[in-house]
Structure 1
Amino acid sequence: MAGRPVRSVLARLLGVRRPEHSWQAGARGEELVAGQLARLGPSWTVLHSVPVGSRGSDIDHVVLGPAGVFTLNSKHHRDARIRVDGDRIWVNGQYQHHVRNSRHEAMRAARLLSAAVGFPVPVQGVVVPVGAAALDVRRQPADVQVVNRARVRRWLAGRPPVWSAEQLAAVVQAARRPATWLG
């Protein structure tokens, strides 16, 4: 135990990434996005770290409101340069599978919520970069949105309404049931 802080400092000085570093950065990114979502207002419901299936998967944030259902995938890339061109996202020149993963989460959530309420529930996947030095969106993906953390609340609140109060209440009730997400 006494050697851990020394290794941590040494790893930081040498630029070595420890396994827990990635997890901690991801958790911090999720917290920052959650702070934005907390300001959406009473007509919105936000669920955080929603466990899906039985293999340890989760969705960072499920956001439900008058404008629909959104699955948010927080991606903490501190001081990175991010470029988005359709389905492709590069972080510091390295291709990342963020769009593919976000699309998969949204489709899975749509399937599970639709089955739980008995009517179609479209879900929009959203990739939310956190901490980037630059975000250059040349072209949005066709079915996933990329919105930086500072703008995500305004982006969601600016979407046009698509649900009646009754539909939204049914979807929120289903989303809050853990059994909904087991499929």
Structure 2
Amino acid sequence: MLDDPRVRRWAWRIGAAVVAGVAVLVLFGWRLGVAVAILVVVGDLVRSSRKSSSVAAWQKSSAAERRTERQLKALQRSGYLVLHARAVPRDDDGVSDGRIDHLVIGPSGVYAIDSEKWDKRLPVRTMSHMKLFHGPFNKKDRLDEARWEAQMASSILADRVGFEVPVQPSVAIYGPSIPWKVMRVRDVDVYAGNRARAYLRRRPKILTDGDVRRIFSAAEKALPPKYPD
């Protein structure tokens, strides 16, 4: 039983709660001891939920990807299906790492979302919808990466389903303030990470439920997990 990580985690929680509760009970009484024990368990549950992810490689780091993943879960009720950390071919110039963070397929279309965590001390700005800067740094490589990965997914999915599947690339940025809602820069939608869900919801319906299921099924088979279990 203790081989199950969930059982081990709950055993740790209960043990920590008992130790903390007994210590406070001895010093301050049983009511406060019970309250402290409960707080220990609740606090650990909250901390664990923030690190929870369907992608094992994201559980220790990748906070930006986890935050987007949590937002996208709520869209399932609206007919959206999501695949996380899917592999696509790399480009010859080494621009892409060969991974789409989040491939979203729903009534409003297909989207490849790249989650980014940037230094919040540096401002984000654009120039004529053609350049994206983070402080003094030109982020052309991030835009090229997102666009390449979306193009690869579009081509692969079209071959599988027999019709064109446009995939809109986007970058969800966490950290610095983003002075716009959604800005298209070099054909890539750029927005604050906490707007990922709103970005997808406020779009017209262009795919039927059957289209969504068909594209999702093709994506599951043609775009393998980047981090297989």
Runs of 4+ in structure 1 displaced over 6 angstroms? 23-26
Distance 1:54 1:46 in 2: 21
Structure with greater helix percent: 2
Tell me the residue number matched to 2:106. 65
Q: Structure 2: which 5+ runs fail to align?
A: 1-57, 92-96, 225-229
The aligned runs of 1:9-88 (5 Å cut-off) are: 27-42=62-77, 43-53=79-89, 57-79=98-120, 80-85=122-127, 86-88=129-131
Query: Do the aligned residues in 2 keep the contact of 1:53 with 1:181 (CA within 8 Å)?
Result: no
Q: TM-score, normalised by structure 2?
A: 0.62
SS of the residue 2:185 aligns to: coil
Distance 2:118 2:147 in 1: 20
Tell me the residue number matched to 1:130. 174
For 1:20-68, what per-residue CA distance to the aligned partner results, in whole angstroms no more than 9, with x for missing partners? xxx9997111111111111213301111111224897211110010000
Which of 145, 150, 161 is the aligned partner of 1:117?
Answer: 161
Which of 125, 129, 138 is the aligned partner of 1:95?
Answer: 138
Query: Do the aligned residues in 2 keep the contact of 1:87 with 1:99 (CA within 8 Å)?
Result: no
Structure with greater strand percent: 1
Query: Do the aligned residues in 2 keep the contact of 1:36 with 1:152 (CA within 8 Å)?
Result: yes
User: Partner letter of residue 124 of structure 1?
Assistant: Q
Which of 87, 93, 104 is the aligned partner of 2:148?
Answer: 104
SS of the residue 2:76 aligns to: coil
CA spacing shift, 1:125–1:25, aligned 2, 3 Å: farther
Question: Percent identity among equivalent residues?
Answer: 28
Please state how far the C-alpha of 1:173 moved relative to its aligned partner. Answer: 0.8
CA spacing shift, 1:39–1:78, aligned 2, 3 Å: farther
Q: How many residues align?
A: 157
Distance 2:59 2:76 in 1: 28
Find the structure with the greater CA-based Rg: 2
Please state how far the C-alpha of 1:93 moved relative to its aligned partner. Answer: 1.5
Cα root mean square deviation, aligned: 2.5
Distance 2:186 2:118 in 1: 23
Q: Structure 1: which 5+ runs fail to align?
A: 1-22
The aligned runs of 1:140-179 (5 Å cut-off) are: 140-141=184-185, 143-177=187-221
